A and B are shown apart, each in its own frame.
Chain A
Amino acid sequence: MSLKDLISPFYVWQRAFEKPYTQKRPIEDRPGAPRYRGFHMNSEDCIGCGTCESICQNRAIDMVPVEGLEQRPGDSGLRPRFDYGRCCWCALCVDICTTRSLHLSNHYAWVTEDPDAFHFTAGTDPMPWNENSLGYRRDDDYHLLVHDRIEMEMLGPDESVRGFDEVMKGYTEEQAVLEADRCVECGICVATCPAHMSVPDYIRSVRKRDYETGLRLLYETNPFSSTCGRICTHRCETVCVMGYQGDPIAIRFLKRAIVDRVPAERYREILGDDVSDNGRTVGVIGAGPGGMSAAYYLRRLGYGVTVYEAQARAGGMLRYGVPSYRLPDDQLDKDIDYIRSLGVEVRFNTLVGRDVTFQSLLDTHDAVFLAVGLNQPSALRINGEEHPRVLSGLKVLDDVANGLDPGIGRKVAVIGGGNVAMDAARVSRRMGAEVTVLYRRRIEDMPADPDEIHESQAEGCTLVAQAIPVEIKPAASEAQVTIVWGEAEMVADDKGGRPRPVLQEDRMHEETYDCVIAAIGQGGQIDFIPSDYREQIEFKWNKFVPGDYQQTGLAKLFVGGDIANSRADAISAIEDGHHAARGIHRFLGGSADA
C-alpha cells in the first residue's frame, strides 16, 4: 500500500460537478430507436395466410376473423391477434410475413388498466401506435423464405419449334424438393383451386419424397393429375402468398413431379381403389376431363359407368385442343387409362342424338352426367369469312392431333388471344409457317396462359395487339387470302368489366396470308336434349346454370365442364365431375362423403 492508494479514491469527488446521467422519464420522452421492436402493426396488405402464427415459437398469435372483413380467394379474412402475455418481441412474425404487412412499431410503453387490452388484433384494432412510421421492419437483404422459383429445364425455342416434343422437361427430384421446400403451407391456394386440391399436403409429400402419399392426395380430388401437372391454368399460383415478394410456388409442376415418379402400373396398388359394384349405373356424356372425372369418382363409389364419346379417343379438348408439346398423348393416356382400368366403359364414336338418344340414356341409367364441352368455334361474322383459306383454330389442332395435315401454308395469321389461338400459332410455327397473331385487346388482356404467350413469342410468333379484323378479301392467288384489320384504342368499362377495344377507322391495314386461322371462342351444342326437357333446365346465355351438386331442374341430369361454368378450364371441369359424382351419389341415396 502506498500513499497514492490512499489518495486516489478521492478522485471520485471530481464527478460531483458533472451533469447527471439520469433521464427524467416520463417527463422527458424517449422514443425507441428507429428499428426498435415494439408493439405490432399490420397493414391492409395482410391476406391472413397465418405464416406468422406458424413461426411464432410462443404461440402468441391466433388467426381470427375480423368483423367487416370478408374472405375471398387469396385472402382468408383472418387476421393475427397477439397475446402480449406470451409475445417475446422476437419479430420472427415480421421476418416471415409473406406480404410484408406485419411490422413492429418503435412504441414500447403503453399503460392501461385493462389487461385484456394486451390481447388485440394488429392493424384492425385501434391501438395508439397504429400510425407510427418507425419500428422494426425486415431488411431488404434478409430473408427467411426462398423467393426465387427453381427454374425448370425446357427446350429452347430454336429446338422446341422444330417438333412436337414436350417443351417443359419436368423437375428433377432435387429441383422438385427445393421448389417444394419454398412452400409455407398456408393453404390459401386451396380455396382458389377449382378442385380444392390439397395443395400444401401434396407439396409436402414432394418435399418428403413420399410420392405414394402424394399420389393419394392428388387423386382425392383430381384423377387428371398427370395432365393438370402440365397444362393446368394454375389459378392457385395467382394467389400463392410467395408471389407477393417473389415467384409463386410452381404448384402445377410439383403435381407433375409426383406423377412423373409413380409408374402407371402401381396406381391401383397405391390408390387402393375399391370398385365393387353397387348395382346402379350412370351415363356420362362426353369423355373429356369433366366426364372422365365424374366417371372415376362414380366408379369408386361402385356405380357402373358408361361414357358416350363422339370422337374416336377420350380426352375431349385435352386430346384435340391441346398440342402434344404441352401435353404428350401418353401422359393424357396415363390418366385416362387408369380410369378405364377400373371398369369404366367408354363407347367411342357414339354421338348422343345421332347414335343414341338422350331419352334412352335417361331410361337406361339411374342418372346422367353431361359434360359435352364447347366445341363449336364462334364465327368471325365479318364479310368474306367463308373464304376457303379461313380455317378454324380448333380444326387445325384437331387435324394435328389426328395426324392430318391442316394445310396452313407458309404465312399464317391467327385471330384470337386464348389458348386455342396460342396453340394454333405454335403448331403453325412447328409446321414451318411464319405466324402473326392478331388480337383485339392488349397482350396483358389475353386469356391465354402467360407461359403460352411467352413461349409463343420465344418461338417466333409475332403478336399484334389491339388489331381488330374487319374484312376478309380474296387475294390475287386462290391459295391466299387478304385480311383487313384496324387498330384499336382501349376504353375503360365504367361498369367494371375489362377494358374494351374500339376500332380506329383511320388506321386500317391490309395483309395477305396463306391462311387465316380464327380462334376467337367456342360455343356449345345441346340440341340433342328434347325441348320438353330443356324447358325444365335453367340456362344463362349459352350455358347451363346447374344447382347444388351440379344438378339441373331435370333431376336425373347433372351437368358440368365448360358448358356449365364460366371458367372453361380442365381443372374446373374435373371438379364439376367430382362434385356431380357426389351429388349423384346423394341423389341416389348415398352419403355425400365421397
Chain B
Amino acid sequence: MNTVDEILDFAIEREQQAADFYSSLADRAQSAWMKEMLLSFSQEEMRHKGKLKSVKLGDRLLKADQHVQDLKVSDYLVDIEPTADISLQDALIVAMKREKAAYRLYSDMARTIDDPELKQMFLGLAQEEAKHKLYFEVQYDDQIMRDN
C-alpha cells in the first residue's frame, strides 16, 4: 500500500468484509430480533464503506485531529465466538472488539509509515474506526448495562 488510493481501497474492502460478516451471521441467527439487529450492524458497516468511498472521490476529507472518546468498555470483556444463537450482548461485544482491532491496525500502520500524507490517512482511518467503536460502546452501555 503505497498510495492513498490503495490504502482507501484496502479500508473500503475491510468495511465490506465486516458487512458481509454481520449479514452472514444474520442469515444463521435463530432469533428474529437478532437477525434484524445483525442486519443493522451490517448496514452500519456499509455506511462506513460509503463514507470512505466519498473520501476517495474527494467529496469529503478525513480528519484526524478530533478526539474520539474511548470508553474502554470492550477492553476487559471476554472474547466471544459468534454463533447462530448469539445474544444481543455478545453481538455487541463482537462488534466492539472488531472495531477496536481495526483501530489498532490503522494506528499501527500509521506508526510504521514515514510518508506524512499516508500517515495522515491511516490516522484518519484509525479515528473513523474509533468512532465506530464508540457507537457500539454507547449501545452496550445503554442496552446491556442499564442497571450498571
Contacts and interface: CB of A to CB of B under 8 A. Distances in A.
B76 A521 contact: no
Interface string A478-521: 00000000000001010101001111010000000000000111
A448 B148 CA distance: 10
Contacts of A208: none
B28 interface: no
B143 interface: yes
A448 B78 CA distance: 27
B87 A523 contact: yes
21 contacts: A378-B145, A383-B76, A383-B78, A417-B148, A418-B146, A439-B148, A440-B145, A447-B146, A468-B76, A500-B69, A500-B138, A502-B69, A502-B72, A503-B76, A521-B147, A521-B148, A523-B87, A527-B31, A534-B33, A539-B37, A541-B143
B88 A542 contact: yes
Contact of B138 (A383, A468, A493): A493
Given A382-B77, A534-B33, A417 B69 contact: no
A187 interface: no
A497 B78 contact: no
B71 A502 contact: yes
B138 A416 contact: no
Contacts of B148: 415-418, 421, 439-440, 519-521
Contacts of A529: 32
B144 interface: yes
A531 interface: yes
A421 B147 contact: yes
Given A379-B89, A382-B78, A416-B148, A500 B30 contact: no
Interface of A: 378-379, 381-383, 385, 415-421, 439-440, 447-448, 468, 470-471, 491, 493, 495, 497, 500-503, 505, 519-521, 523, 526-527, 529, 531, 534-535, 537, 539, 541-543, 568
A493 B145 CA distance: 16
A503 B127 CA distance: 20
B72 A503 contact: yes
A541 B88 CA distance: 7
Interface of B: 30-33, 36-37, 69-72, 75-78, 80, 87-90, 93, 137-139, 141-148
A163 B121 CA distance: 64
B138 A519 contact: no
B70 A502 contact: yes
A503 B37 contact: no
Contacts of A447: 146-147
B89 A471 contact: no
Given A379-B89, A417-B148, A542-B143, A534 B76 contact: no
A519 B147 contact: yes
A378 B89 CA distance: 8
A491 to B, nearest CB: 6
Nearest to B31: A527
Contacts of B76: 382-383, 468, 470-471, 503
Contacts of B142: 497
A468 B77 CA distance: 12
B143 A495 contact: no
Contacts of A416: 147-148
A412 B42 CA distance: 42
From A439, A470, A505, A534, residue with most partner B Cβ within 10 Å? A534
Contacts of B37: 539, 541-542
Contacts of A378: 89, 144-145
Contacts of A534: 31-33
Given A502-B70, A519-B147, A520-B148, A381 B36 contact: no
Contacts of A541: 33, 37, 88, 139, 143
Residue from B32, B75, B89, B144 with most neighbouring chain A CB atoms (10 Å)? B32
Contact of A521 (B77, B87, B137, B144): B144
Contact of A539 (B33, B80, B90): B33
A418 B145 CA distance: 10
Contacts of A439: 148
Contacts of B88: 523, 541-542
